[in-house]
């Protein structure tokens, strides 16, 4: 066995299947050996008493998006681009992000992707890939641009059922699904019924009910249940798997279970906000509730319990942050003024750095889920579904994207620990047990001792292959 | 890195999470290294073009059981003991069995276990563990014998809801579940409503409908649905996880899904017969239908489809054979005569050697399931649920129980390939793709080139720790 | 048109289908005409401003039962026989009762029925019929006694799944169902899992938890859900309709809905206690909780809501009292002593006189149900299911069993208003709107101005024909 | 009792609750008496051996509609107006119709209603009411025209989720529902997902699959399931009851049951075509399949069974014809040519005269449903839901709209028996048992001995009061 560049020695390794003590040998940025005892190397990292996990993949991240006109967030600036976004991710134990290259109506999808590539290049600390948001699936986009992009490894698409400037009609979604089916791209769906939301919001507005908490009133669970069922019907008609992102409660989950029982392939994602926050967190004085305004909104404790059960029993496949980096200021959430009505407040919560510590502490340490399930939800399943073949695994031949956790370290979350550019975190003051101390990307130590040790731009674009949602991979 | 006893070189390794190319280094019977390239060893096995999988665990095996008086099978001889049973298992890619140490009514559980240990010792080719069948959970059994046995690593128990000499009342099951909960033993349940079966069989008998096919008529799906729901209610009341074995169709599966939605922990098993046979296979001339008489009986193609869906979508955790080795002769199935009524024909089908090839061919090769799912269903999940900590995994520190498969080899199943002592197989003539060519147990090659290369008695009893059904394992 | 004996003039008549203003003409105890305006008669009753409803049928009534040895209530005296029972019923607007002729183990069913006939004769103020409780369905009972009784118009049977001296095994229930199917008798089931109750009660007892409130702890909802599902499976196997009596919450209701979706015919009954009381009513000082101890126990407010929804949306067919007349004294509930443990307290609540006013007030006046639905639940459906062809209807040719209600009268329920021999009512102090002021039985005024105007013994036994549960009636 | 104009003597009367022998006395067009024996009258009708039922109400009838531009049926002529439509209805035992006054886009609703009144006046043989179809619910329509029409007794509205010229967006439906809720009008919904149908039809068209049978392919069950769930969500959001018309199979029925379990009020309708036809009836040579093209299309035998179960078990409230009178010629179905692609063939089947005989024969005579259930489904429930207070009942004070049936008469259906102007019936050659021989409308004999005895224009418009869907009616 030839020498290794790096050996991680003495740790407890977890994969999506197993937990065992082993040394990890890394060569040329790749995991080359997993063994009971490896000899010396250029660099030896002592992981005694530590957990050695695949670095997280955060497959639902909004960074450096230019908002389309017509959105609540139009004109609002995202505080995080690739530089600070991937920096924050790395501090939270994540080593790969999937963010969104967004087409605007009337614009070119190809140009949007090229522009987004430029935004990443020279800035990203971590490897990254993109989902393509289709806001205007006109014939030349579906017939020419999209196939060309798919051929270049852009094999995940996202469609919105709400947001004025983004949403597609059922027909448009079917058109996208048809291409996705034929070319084996995986489709993510933001499922909320746009028209119900608008109708309810109009009525709230007329009554002057515009404080942040009415954001939740304007999009109750049936809004999400309806759109989830409709999306799954469209997937059933087109004969193609779907990913339902950010599921927030029992009713949409039941739609997912029913679709599976009909034989439909559905991948389900939830996010930290649906496990830990409720609608009541929106009800704070002085627009502070705007901090936790996201869509779907956090619900109630019964919904939290339903989401936890889905985390525990395998209903959810994916756990991502839906990081949306708006500062609580006039450039961000409050662009429309310090007392903006909820419809004009940008949606979303920041979460890149907190996603893994929250699930580790509330899930693994609290005894709800096993370490392999943690790895599956946060890394391995994202790698399989979004077809990042060398990512999300501790296995021979995989990229050495690794997070070394102290499972016993207690940390009080404060915003400055998170190294993003957002000026708050919804989890300020929360005490978690377990923290990622050292993070390697392709074998390179990028975070250590609370310090960033990498240079911007080292991250590379990762091409996607075919999603496991299309069926078992061939092994040869 | 110190030298290895054995290196498996050049194969494609599958775990319950990953598939990757790697060499495996074995030392002292244990997997010591998984690496891109390992140096030479005492023995080097070329696995180029082959799959390197964890040896199967068959956790539902009847061998060398002395049948209780009052059973249909009372007096019938099981053709396979530990010698031929584990031999057949090994030829089918399995490296560990869990069979049943059966208490009879009025007898001592401890004595039954000691007797069963004696039957295994000196005979088993493979490592093995036991489930304890409780047919008489009287106070001293539950209060003294059982705790002592649990302390010695017998941590899985089985109860029957049918069979005259075995079945427990609801009260007795609750009594067992209470001990299981307090001492963290996992409980398997054979769930069929005994009284309905008897009532229906009486009526069939009166009408002279005693041919093998009426076996199925006497235990229709509602019989299994009822008992499954009742068992799950008993588990819910006692607050303890259950394993429902040999689930045969959609209705009991729905009970399992409903229980999970209520928050009840249920482990679900199915078997090859429910994926590949139907009730019509019971309808053959000359008592040949007796070959496929098992309980629950095979159902119809809709039930097969429901079971396949449960295999594919994760509803089933376990896939085992329910091997029951009765010859079709006067010592076995036809002990009550060549035209015995169905109630007097011993129940069960042989399946130790065919379990894995059938699932590999119909599941993996047919594109229904991935290799990691195959490993989970046939090995890793059995190891976790039945708490065999060193088994069922290809991971550093695990026992080197490994099967090397030729994934492309086409084999026509004939009984002589199976190396059991039963005189038939239900799958005679079935053509499968994929076959386990070489099988290692604790690093020792036991099957190679269609030859057995091990000595009887090399197999060891494996103590069980605490089942993963009781919650996530601690990693430290 | 020939003259009438009685005309009820000017009232608002309700049937199970319609509400309309009409006069009712009665001749020879039978409704002879319903018309916009009838001429004079022997007697004219002014019903202006009043509702003219079919007298209620209470089809679940325990009176003058000799308790079997082995019951909690063994030795306890029922305070009401036919005299006070039918008197109380009449004061509550009920004109027909179905109580239970109970076979004891080892005894003759025929003898039990004859004995029960004797208890009724000379005492009943109202017409009555019996359900036959089978506690010992041995061959001669099922083969000879029962068919003879069915031929004499005893066409409804009851089986218990709990109570030591009464319960039948699944096999016995199937035996009863087979006769019921072949001879078209309808079967009522008390569905609770006996063994779970006993097991839980043992554990409560060991911990000294024997106060009345632990009665509810010993029979939680899953106990009822399990037995309901099992009973419905037995009905499915035997191919015969069932009546599930006293359903107490959402879980057993879901079993009923699921069975119907499978094509099984199920009739569902609930009682006032499940709409108005909760488990907390059992938690009172000084054994006062014993007053509301019944089986199944009252549950919680969510269960009440589920039962109300079933009342409103048609899931429930029948609404009866389950009147069980034990005084709170040493001859009744406290026969085993003033601090008897819950297992030794007789089960049941008195309810003959309060059933209709409670449903009228909380159902009709509160706007939950229509008058026709009230008539269906309390009279017409009982007549159809229990095949009392001339009862429960205001229609030409039907017996003139009529209650004239003041829909606006507010009454505070007190025990002395109820005219039973029980020394309490669970609804003491409840204020209801609507009260039956005058009650006619076969055209004879029996209650008027709060006075009883009939003689004991005027009531007659009513033979049953074939239940509508066996399918639509032929009209010719 | 004063004299009657007409007495129907000696028949068996059925209401939605009861069946009994009685004479019916009619005075001034109203039922004045129901009695065991009524004296003579101007006219005495001998009904010995006959059933006396409420005349049917057909609450889903398309007659004399001017098709909106953009519909497949645009330009196609409806063969039946009020004259032939109500004539055909009367011959089939129906005495009241609810057809549709259709607003076109950009047009006035009030004007559409006035126009439709004019079309009825002078032509209708039967009393009638209208549903108002809203195709353009712009503010002045909802704010002014609709409230004024509601005030004049137009209290049922219909919205379409498909058909290019008719369909409303979710927002528009919510706008309509809001008015309906506030003013207590009941809303009917045609629930199919328009965009899926269009998308599938486009693809069929591209492949040249335009024969009638592809009509069914273009609108599979999930299309109806989706729209049904969405409609019920809109009703849930708006807090208003809905009628889902022409339900065709198990999947939309399940949505209805689920909504009810959530506490949503839903009224469900099915039609003869979903009980008796299948998709295969569309597959006939020479465009003959166009005869049974309707939307939703007939499904398969499993869907028929599901619909029958809903008829039997009470899930369906209403049974109407959805009569749509297009001839199979160049003015009707084939307006776009003798080989028109399915998208250009007018939708609908004629059914006014066959609705009741089919349900009577296949439902009542076949033993599936009782006579009261027949009356409820075909008359009484329509009267309650659509609030025609004097219709649909045999009760004192109700209009004497009565059909006298020979329950044993066997009739082979032929088109000329139906007295409509359509040139075919889908049920040509079907043999039914039971036929309405004499039909009275407000006491006037209009059909007798197969002859029409009334003059056109005698029918009157009936104002609607408040639907029972809004809760129990007050009785005073
Ligand atoms: Zn989103
Ligand atoms: Zn997002
Ligand atoms: Zn078994
Ligand atoms: Zn077995
Ligand atoms: Zn009872
Ligand atoms: Zn009772
Ligand atoms: Zn329609
Ligand atoms: Zn229509």
pLDDT tens-place string over residues C246-288? 999 999 999 999 999 888 999 999 999 999 999 999 999 989 9
Q: Ligand 7: distance of its center to the CA of D105 in Å?
A: 18
- Test B407 with A39 for CB contact under 8 angstroms: no
Lowest mean pLDDT among A71-75, B238-242, B321-325, D315-319: A71-75
Select the residue of A200, A222, A237 nearest D233 (Cβ to Cβ): A222
Select the residue of B14, B20, B475 nearest A14 (Cβ to Cβ): B475
CA distance A269 to chain B (A): 16
- Test B396 with A367 for CB contact under 8 angstroms: no
- Residues D350 and D407 occupy one common structural domain: no
Measured between CB atoms, does D309 come within 8 Å of chain C?
A: yes
Measuring CA to CA, how many Å separate B141 from each of B111, B157, B190?
11, 13, 20
- Report yes or no on chains D and B touching (3+ CB pairs under 8 A): no
Q: Ligand 1: distance of its center to the CA of A191 in Å?
A: 8
Query: What is the spatial distance between Cα C255 and Cα B315, in angstroms, rounded to a whole number?
Result: 22
Q: Which residues on chain A are in Cβ contact (under 8 Å) with B19? A: 473, 475
Measured between CB atoms, does D393 come within 8 Å of chain C?
A: yes
Query: What is the spatial distance between Cα A201 and Cα A215, in angstroms, rounded to a whole number?
Result: 8
- Find the mean pLDDT for residues D334-350: 94
Q: What was the pLDDT predicted at D9?
A: 98
Percent of chain B scoring above 90 in pLDDT? 94
Q: Name the closest residue on chain A to residue D195, using Cα atoms.
A: A171
- Residues A50 and A91 occupy one common structural domain: no
Q: What was the pLDDT predicted at A67?
A: 80
pLDDT tens-place string over residues C306-360? 999 999 999 999 999 999 999 999 999 999 999 999 999 999 999 999 999 999 9
Q: What was the pLDDT predicted at C67?
A: 80
- In this complex, the chains that touch A, judged by 3 or more CB pairs closer than 8 A, are B, D
- Residues D356 and D398 occupy one common structural domain: no
CA dihedral A125, A131, A134, A140 (to 10 degrees): 100
Select the residue of D174, D222, D226 nearest A196 (Cβ to Cβ): D174
| Structural domain contains residue A174 | yes
Tokens coding D419:
């007295």
Q: What share of chain B is helix, strand, coil (3-state, %, to 5)?
A: 35, 25, 45
- Residues D319 and D409 occupy one common structural domain: no
Q: Is the pLDDT of residue C72 over 80?
A: no
Q: Which ligand is nearest the CA of C322, by number?
A: 6
pLDDT tens-place string over residues B156-174? 999 999 999 999 999 999 9
Q: Which residues on chain A are in Cβ contact (under 8 Å) with D240? A: none
Q: Which residues on chain D are in Cβ contact (under 8 Å) with C264? A: none
- Find the mean pLDDT for residues B325-349: 95
Select the residue of B171, B198, B229 nearest C199 (Cβ to Cβ): B171
pLDDT tens-place string over residues B119-132? 999 999 999 999 99
The more confident residue out of A472 and B133 is B133
A429 class by beta-carbon count within 10 Å (0-12 exposed, 13-18 middle, 19+ buried) = exposed
Q: Which residues on chain D are in Cβ contact (under 8 Å) with C33? A: 1, 33-36
- Find the mean pLDDT for residues A322-328: 97
Q: Is the pLDDT of residue C1 over 60?
A: no
Which of the 8 DSSP states describes residue A79? S
The alpha carbon dihedral of A59, A65, A71, A72 has a sign of positive
Percent of chain A scoring above 90 in pLDDT? 94
pLDDT tens-place string over residues D347-390? 999 999 999 999 999 999 999 999 999 999 999 999 999 999 99
Measured between CB atoms, does C407 come within 8 Å of chain D?
A: yes
Q: Which residues on chain D are in Cβ contact (under 8 Å) with A222? A: 233, 236-237
- Test B35 with A257 for CB contact under 8 angstroms: no
Q: Which residues on chain D are in Cβ contact (under 8 Å) with A220? A: 237
Q: Is the pLDDT of residue B69 over 90?
A: no
Q: Name the closest residue on chain B to residue C230, using Cα atoms.
A: B226
Contact D317, D57 (CB under 8 A): no
| Structural domain contains residue D472 | no
pLDDT tens-place string over residues C401-438? 999 999 999 999 999 999 999 999 999 999 999 999 99
For chain D, give the mean pLDDT: 96
| Structural domain contains residue D129 | yes
**Rg over CA atoms, chain D:** 21
For chain C, give the mean pLDDT: 96
- Find the mean pLDDT for residues A315-338: 96
- Residues A199 and A313 occupy one common structural domain: yes
Confidence of residue D74 (pLDDT cuts 50, 70, 90): confident
Q: Name the closest residue on chain D to residue A177, using Cα atoms.
A: D199
pLDDT tens-place string over residues C373-411? 999 999 999 999 999 999 999 999 999 999 999 999 999
Q: Ligand 5: distance of its center to the CA of C162 in Å?
A: 9
CA distance A445 to chain D (A): 51
Q: Which ligand is nearest the CA of A63, by number?
A: 2
- Test C170 with B195 for CB contact under 8 angstroms: yes
| Structural domain contains residue B16 | no
**What is the end-to-end Cα distance of chain D in Å, rounded?**
24
Percent of chain C scoring above 70 in pLDDT? 99
CA dihedral D254, D256, D261, D263 (to 10 degrees): 170
Q: Ligand 6: distance of its center to the CA of C283 in Å?
A: 22
Size of interface A-D (CB pairs under 8 A): 62
Q: What was the pLDDT predicted at C474?
A: 74
- Report yes or no on chains D and C touching (3+ CB pairs under 8 A): yes
Put simply, the chain D residues between 15 and 54 with a CB less than 8 A from any chain A CB are none
CA–chain centroid gap for B106, Å, is 27
pLDDT tens-place string over residues A396-445? 999 999 999 999 999 999 999 999 999 999 999 999 999 999 999 999 99
CATH of the domain at D408: 2.30.40.10
- Residues A322 and A346 occupy one common structural domain: yes
Select the residue of C20, C314, C373 nearest D396 (Cβ to Cβ): C20
Q: Which residues on chain D are in Cβ contact (under 8 Å) with A200? A: 237
Confidence of residue D75 (pLDDT cuts 50, 70, 90): confident
pLDDT tens-place string over residues A287-321? 999 999 999 999 999 999 999 999 999 999 999 99
- Test D200 with A237 for CB contact under 8 angstroms: yes
Q: What letters, b where the CB count within 10 A reaches 16 and e where it falls short, cover A370-401?
A: bbbbbbbbbbbbbbbbbbbbbbbbbbbbbbbb
Q: Is the pLDDT of residue C68 over 90?
A: no
| Structural domain contains residue D370 | no
pLDDT tens-place string over residues B22-35? 999 999 999 999 99
Q: Which of B169, B171, B218, B226 to mutate to test the interface with C (most CBs of C within 10 A)?
A: B226
Measured between CB atoms, does B390 come within 8 Å of chain A?
A: no
Measured between CB atoms, does A380 come within 8 Å of chain B?
A: yes
For chain B, give the mean pLDDT: 96
Q: Is the pLDDT of residue C48 over 70?
A: yes
- Residues A19 and A82 occupy one common structural domain: no
Q: Is the pLDDT of residue D275 over 80?
A: yes
Domain count, chain D: 2
- Find the mean pLDDT for residues A78-84: 98
- Report yes or no on chains B and A touching (3+ CB pairs under 8 A): yes
| Structural domain contains residue C391 | no
Q: Is the pLDDT of residue D1 over 70?
A: no
pLDDT tens-place string over residues C88-143? 999 999 999 999 999 999 999 999 999 999 999 999 999 999 999 999 999 999 99
Contact C147, C181 (CB under 8 A): no
Measuring CA to CA, how many Å separate D20 from each of A227, C14, C382, D44?
51, 16, 18, 19
Tokens coding C385:
């299911």
Confidence of residue B272 (pLDDT cuts 50, 70, 90): very high
C444 Rama sector, left if φ>0, alpha if ψ -120 to 50, beta otherwise: beta
Structural domain including C213 reads: 56-365
- Find the mean pLDDT for residues D73-88: 93
The more confident residue out of A70 and B282 is B282
Q: Which residues on chain C are in Cβ contact (under 8 Å) with D369? A: 472
- Residues D438 and D334 occupy one common structural domain: no
Q: Is the pLDDT of residue B318 over 80?
A: yes
Q: Which of C217, C233, C252, C263 to mutate to test the interface with B (most CBs of B within 10 A)?
A: C233
Q: Is the pLDDT of residue D66 over 90?
A: no
| Structural domain contains residue B405 | no
> What's chain B's length in residues?
476
Q: What was the pLDDT predicted at B137?
A: 98
For D216, the 3-state DSSP assignment is: helix
Contact C36, C13 (CB under 8 A): no
Measured between CB atoms, does D198 come within 8 Å of chain A?
A: yes
- Find the mean pLDDT for residues A350-372: 98
Select the residue of A195, A233, A234 nearest D169 (Cβ to Cβ): A195
Percent of chain D scoring above 90 in pLDDT? 94
CA–chain centroid gap for D333, Å, is 20
pLDDT tens-place string over residues D253-263? 999 999 998 88
Q: Which residues on chain A are in Cβ contact (under 8 Å) with B27? A: 36
CB atoms within 10 A of CB A414: 12
Measured between CB atoms, does B176 come within 8 Å of chain C?
A: no
CATH of the domain at C348: 3.20.20.140
pLDDT tens-place string over residues D177-212? 999 999 999 999 999 999 999 999 999 999 999 999
Q: What was the pLDDT predicted at D73?
A: 74
Query: What is the spatial distance between Cα B268 and Cα B253, in angstroms, rounded to a whole number?
Result: 8
- Find the mean pLDDT for residues C177-205: 98
Query: What is the spatial distance between Cα B64 and Cα B117, in angstroms, rounded to a whole number?
Result: 11
Q: Which ligand is nearest the CA of C348, by number?
A: 6
Q: Name the closest residue on chain C to residue B222, using Cα atoms.
A: C233
Q: What was the pLDDT predicted at B179?
A: 98
Put simply, the chain D residues between 150 and 169 with a CB less than 8 A from any chain A CB are 169
Compute the C-alpha angle D42/D43/D47, nearest 5°: 150
Confidence of residue A69 (pLDDT cuts 50, 70, 90): confident
pLDDT tens-place string over residues B203-262? 999 999 999 999 999 999 999 999 999 999 999 999 999 999 999 999 999 999 999 988
- Residues D130 and D32 occupy one common structural domain: no
- Find the mean pLDDT for residues A240-246: 98
Q: What was the pLDDT predicted at B323?
A: 98
Three-state SS letters, chain C = CCCEEEEEEEEEEECCCCEEEEEEEEECCEEEEEECCCCCEEEEEECCCCEEEECEEEEEECCCCCCCCCCCCCCCCCCCCHHHHHHHHHHCCEEEEEEEEECCCCCCHHHHHHHHHHHHCCCCCCEEEEEEECCCCCHHHHHHHHHHHHHCCCCEEEEECCCCCCECCHHHHHHHHHHHHHHCCEEEEECCCHHHHHHHHHHHHHCCCCCCHHHHHCCCHHHHHHHHHHHHHHHHHHCCCEEECCCCCHHHHHHHHHHHHCCCCEEEEECHHHHHCCHHHHCCCCCHHHHHCCCCCCCCHHHHHHHHHHHHHCCCCEECCCECCCCCCCCCCCCCCCCCCHHHCCCCECCCCCHHHHHHHHHHHCCCCCHHHHHHHHHHHHHHHCCCCCCCCCCCCCECCEEEEEEEEEEECCHHHCCCCCCCCCCCCCEEEEEEEEEEECCEEEEECCEECCCCCCCCECCCCCCHHHCCCCCC
| Structural domain contains residue C7 | no
Q: Which residues on chain A are in Cβ contact (under 8 Å) with B2? A: 37
- Test B196 with C222 for CB contact under 8 angstroms: no
CA distance B171 to chain C (A): 5
């Amino acid at each position: 066995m030839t020498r290794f560049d790096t050996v991680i020695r003495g740790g407890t390794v977890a994969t999506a299947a197993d937990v065992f003590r082993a040394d990890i040998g890394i060569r040329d940025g790749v995991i080359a050996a997993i063994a009971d005892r490896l000899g010396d190397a250029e660099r030896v990292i002592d992981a005694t008493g530590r957990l050695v996990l695949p670095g997280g993949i955060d497959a639902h991240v909004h960074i450096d998006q230019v908002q389309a006109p017509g959105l609540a967030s139009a004109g609002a600036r995202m505080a995080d681009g690739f530089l600070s976004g991937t920096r924050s991710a790395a501090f939270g134990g994540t080593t790969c992000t999937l963010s969104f290259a967004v087409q605007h109506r009337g614009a070119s999808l190809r140009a949007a992707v090229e522009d987004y590539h430029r935004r990443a290049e020279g800035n990203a600390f971590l490897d990254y890939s993109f989902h393509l948001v289709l806001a205007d699936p006109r014939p030349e986009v579906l017939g020419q641009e999209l196939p060309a992009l798919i051929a270049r490894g852009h094999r995940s698409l996202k469609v919105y059922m709400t947001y004025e400037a983004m949403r597609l009609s059922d027909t448009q979604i079917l058109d996208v699904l048809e291409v996705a089916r034929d070319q084996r791209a995986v489709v993510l769906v933001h499922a909320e019924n746009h028209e119900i939301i608008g109708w309810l919001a109009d009525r709230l507005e007329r009554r002057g009910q515009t404080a942040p908490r009415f954001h939740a009133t304007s999009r109750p669970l049936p809004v999400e249940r309806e759109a989830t069922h409709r999306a799954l019907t469209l997937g059933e008609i087109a004969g193609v798997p779907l990913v339902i992102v950010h599921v927030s409660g029992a009713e949409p989950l039941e739609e997912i279970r029913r679709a599976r029982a009909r034989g439909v392939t559905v991948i389900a994602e939830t996010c930290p906000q649906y496990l830990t926050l409720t609608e009541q967190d929106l009800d704070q004085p002085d627009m502070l509730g705007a901090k936790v305004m996201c869509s779907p909104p956090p619900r109630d404790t019964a919904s939290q319990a339903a989401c936890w059960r889905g985390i525990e029993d395998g209903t959810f496949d994916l756990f991502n942050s839906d990081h949306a980096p708006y500062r609580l200021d006039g450039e961000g959430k409050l662009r429309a003024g310090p007392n903006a009505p909820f419809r004009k407040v940008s949606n979303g919560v920041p979460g890149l750095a907190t996603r893994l510590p929250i699930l580790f502490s509330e899930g693994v340490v609290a005894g709800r889920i096993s370490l392999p399930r943690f790895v599956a939800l946060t890394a391995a399943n994202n790698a399989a579904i979004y077809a990042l073949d060398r990512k999300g695994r501790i296995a021979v031949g995989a990229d050495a994207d690794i997070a070394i956790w102290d499972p016993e370290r207690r940390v009080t979350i404060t915003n400055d620990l998170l190294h993003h550019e957002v000026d708050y975190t919804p989890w300020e003051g929360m005490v978690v047990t377990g923290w990622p101390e050292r993070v390697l990307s392709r074998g390179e130590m990028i975070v250590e001792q609370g310090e960033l040790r990498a240079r911007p731009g080292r991250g590379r674009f990762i091409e996607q292959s075919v999603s496991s949602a299309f069926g078992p991979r061939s092994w040869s």
